Amino acid sequence: MTPEELSALDDLAGEYVLGTLSWEQRQAVAARLPHEPVLAAKVAQWESRLQPLADTVAPLAPSAKLWQRVSQSISPARDSVWRRYWDDIRFWRLASGAVTCAALLLAVTLGVKVNTPTPSPRFVVVLASPLDKSPGWLVQVGADRKLRLIPLKPEPTQADKALQLWTKADGWTGPVSLGLLRAGEPVEVSIDNLPPLQPNQLFEITLEPPQGSPIGKPTGPILSIGRAVAT
């Protein structure tokens, strides 16, 4: 994915969270979120960035006059539409069929849930530069307990240095190394030896000596950092 494409996704995620998209555009973005982890992560980033601002605004109760105007504007249309459907036998036939289908679907769904173990949650992390906030890597963790790290842009390399991936959850005494990386190359890491991932778990990539950190914790500068978001 090019920097231009990532920038366009970031703009789209910001408009989605701010609510400036049209209804059709918003529905289209919502349909993409379960299948596009980068877009979902950017939406989560915008939500976490803007929520503190929303929390500073005191709620304002609408006046009684405003509620009266709203009620008057929708009541005639609502009553007219409801009366038309009430008197239409085809509506009741369709409603009866829909209820039957819903009951069957619920029975099948409950049966499947009873016999199917609950899947493990999936997480994504966008690792961004702490300097300019540009995304550099995408982390995906599936129910198979495999962590997949995908480069999003070219990463400058140094012959006498290595990239090392770390993670740390709340309550841990310190970060845990997930191994060395090659700049610009995807990698897959098993995390079976780690506790279950948590929302907001920290991930970072640091610049270390060629063999990795000699003391079991980061020693070099942080190149990319981000936190896990459940999908």
Dihedral angle computed from the Cα positions of residues 43, 44, 45 and 51, in that order, rounded to the nearest 10 degrees: 100
Distance, first Cα to last Cα, the chain: 21
State yes or no: pLDDT of 146 exceeds 70. yes
| Alpha carbons 144 and 146: distance in angstroms, whole number | 5
Confidence of residue 35 (pLDDT cuts 50, 70, 90): confident
Is residue 164 within 8 A of residue 192, CB to CB? The reply is no
State yes or no: pLDDT of 164 exceeds 50. yes
Structure tokens belonging to residue 163 = 């990239």
State yes or no: pLDDT of 183 exceeds 50. yes
> Backbone dihedral region of 145: left (phi > 0), alpha (psi from -120 to 50 degrees) or beta?
left
State percent of the chain over pLDDT 70: 68
pLDDT at residue 123 in the model: 86
pLDDT at residue 87 in the model: 56
Q: Which of the listed CATH numbers 2.60.40, 1.10.3470, 1.10.357, 1.10.10 matches domain 121-230?
A: 2.60.40
